[in-house]
Amino acid sequence: MGFPEIRMRRLRSSAAMRRMVRETTLSVDDLVYPLFARPGSNVREPIASMSDCFHLSADRIADEAVQVADLGIPAVLLFGLPERKDEKGSEAWSESGAVQQAIQAIKKRVPGLLVITDVCLCAYTTTGHCGVIKGHRLDNDATCELLAKMALSHAQAGADIVAPSDMMDGRIGAIRQVLERNGFDHVAILSYAAKFASAFYGPFRDAAESAPSPEMAAAGLGDRKTYQMDPANAREAVREIALDIEEGADMVMVKPALSFLDVICRARQQFDCPIAAYNVSGEYMMLHAAAERGLLDRDAAMMEVLTSIKRAGADIVITYHAKAAASLLGRR
Ligand code: PBG
């Protein structure tokens, strides 16, 4: 036989042909854009560790939210930096906290934009841990109570979705219960269900000033490995996700995205609720740094990465690339 019987290249022969047989389409509807809220007014400071990202006060976050909504992005994810930290992270549930103010400012200007809030104590505690330390350990159940208070204060400020990222056991149930009891049955929970103890959070921890403190490191508590998952485990991720759905999570997340595409794929096969994936700070900056050195085409690499996360099975992609990707998609 002098020729291949099946020629796969026929299906790649033109742009129109490729478009017609494309299996995965990234849409602006899939994107969530993270933002960093700071106390004060008229603050817009570039974040040194993360290109094109800013620390914003509530008024400037509202300006940003208008742009995000104009691009067609359906949701933002808010992180907060407190004025003052303490052992319990009490500013996390303060009515006048940066996140609470930002939620109100956004809802006033762009009521249709979904506001998701990160629920975790690490940016608010002097220890830099995602919960309270008692003795030499992180007190799981005491932390869940504080997280529920934090989630409730976000709901009271007008958040549509709360997203706990702490990895304590039982926090979804604790938050769901407090929301129901206080009349916030309409507020959804997006659980960071399979969150791994990853090296790719580095730039974020600089941005959120949320790394475990030197004192904690000296005491042998310098990492988050007793609560975030071991990157070697995928079956355990399935158990984590199942538990969070049982406790009342409406949507679940896998984080980071790129080194855990197989986990996203497994989650897609086993669960029917919406699945989000977080394209984290280190993944974002890896691409930016390479592009700045002229090693790759940033836009092309960005679209490839975001499409791959969707192809793996994610419905929702949380990414610092969201605005850039939305502009590109709008121009197609
Ligand atoms: C808070 C939190 C972190 C991220 C999101 N929420 C940092 C961490 O767990 O240390 C990381 C996000 C990113 O790297 O983009 N617990």
Model confidence over 246-276: pLDDT tens digits? 999 999 999 999 999 999 999 999 999 999 9
The string of pLDDT tens digits covering residues 13-66 is 999 999 999 999 999 999 999 999 999 999 999 999 999 999 999 999 999 999
| pLDDT computed for residue 114 by the predictor | 98
| pLDDT computed for residue 140 by the predictor | 98
Instruction: Return the higher-pLDDT residue of 78 and 2.
Output: 78
Cβ-in-10-Å burial (0-12, 13-18, 19+) of 62 comes to buried
What average pLDDT score do residues 191-209 get? 95
Instruction: Set out the domains of the chain in order of their start, with CATH numbers.
Output: 23-331 (3.20.20.70)
Instruction: Tell me the two tokens of residue 226.
Output: 């007793």
The string of pLDDT tens digits covering residues 150-168 is 999 999 999 999 999 999 9
| pLDDT computed for residue 1 by the predictor | 65
Mean pLDDT of the chain: 97
| pLDDT computed for residue 332 by the predictor | 72
User: DSSP code of 83?
Assistant: S
Residue 21 is inside which H or E element, if any?
A: helix 15-21
pLDDT band at 331 (very low <50, low <70, confident <90, very high): confident
Residue 201 Cα to ligand 1 midpoint, Å, equals: 6
Is the predicted pLDDT of residue 296 greater than 80, yes or no? yes
Is the predicted pLDDT of residue 288 greater than 80, yes or no? yes
What average pLDDT score do residues 228-243 get? 98
Atom 5 in ligand 1: residue holding the nearest Cα: 165
Which residues have C-beta atoms less than 6 Å from ligand 1? 118, 120, 122, 130, 165, 201, 204-205, 210, 280-281
Is there a binding annotation on residue 33?
no
Task: Assign 54 to helix, strand or coil.
Answer: strand
Residue 11 Cα to ligand 1 midpoint, Å, equals: 41
The string of pLDDT tens digits covering residues 113-131 is 999 999 999 999 999 999 9
| pLDDT computed for residue 3 by the predictor | 86
Strands 251-255 and 275-279: parallel
| pLDDT computed for residue 251 by the predictor | 98
Q: What ipTM does the predicted assembly reach?
A: 0.96
> What is the CB neighbour count within 10 angstroms for residue 6?
6
Atom 11 in ligand 1: residue holding the nearest Cα: 201
The string of pLDDT tens digits covering residues 171-193 is 999 999 999 999 999 999 999 99
Query: Ligand 1, closest atom to CA 282?
Result: 14
Sign of CA dihedral 96, 162, 237, 282: negative
